[in-house]
Amino acid sequence: GQVTVAVTSKSKSVTFGCSEGATLKPALLEHVFIEKATEKNGGASTGREEEVVLQDLVPNSSLVENAANTGNDTVGYTLSCPDLPSSPQNIFYKCVSSASGRGQVGTQTECKVLINIEEKPEAETPATPEPSRGEQGVVLGSAFMIAFISCFALVTGNMF
């Protein structure tokens, strides 16, 4: 299975869980998986996972394990990203559970938790000073005139 969640500039964090008996991969909370595209002989690119350090992708971010307050069947994790990255990041974790019983020893089921991390909003970057009102008015006026003239030319051109 696969779940997709998002960290946005409003939320800055996301909580997800693994079901009972499932373990989170990567095992280190400061690590995370990313998908690396690899070229196959046929030319079709297939993704292979690569384990990387979370803070290399998203500065000051952290993943913490929550004490499950819903009984013992789920373990919750919260990913916090107080500082969003300069470009969007797609990372994922996996919940891997070993199937028990029915003689299927060694069968593992895994659920992928995809996390889309938004980039830092433009507002946080220093703004360039705006031109004074007078200059802006002139620029808008001339742009409007050009648009008007080109439209007019099109209309007259079609008449003949």
pLDDT of residue 123: 61
Contact 20, 6 (CB under 8 A): no
Give CATH superfamily name and number for 2-124: SRS domain (2.60.40.1320)
Extents of the domains making up the chain: 2-124, 128-160
pLDDT digits (tens, 9 = 90+) for 52-95: 999 999 999 999 998 655 555 667 899 999 999 999 999 999 99
Q: Is the pLDDT of residue 144 over 90?
A: no
- Of 2-11, 108-117, 131-140, least confident by mean pLDDT is 131-140
What is the three-class DSSP state of 21?
A: coil
pLDDT level of residue 141 (50, 70, 90 thresholds)? very low
d(CA 151, CA 94): 56
Put the strands of the sheet holding 62-66 in their side by side order.
13-19, 74-80, 62-66
| pLDDT score at 28 | 95
Tokens 């079709």 — which residue?
44
pLDDT in tens, 8-59: 999 999 999 887 788 999 999 999 999 987 666 665 566 789 999 999 999 9
What is the pTM for the complete model shown?
0.65
Which tokens belong to 33?
A: 């998986």
Which residues are registered as beta bridge partners of 98?
108
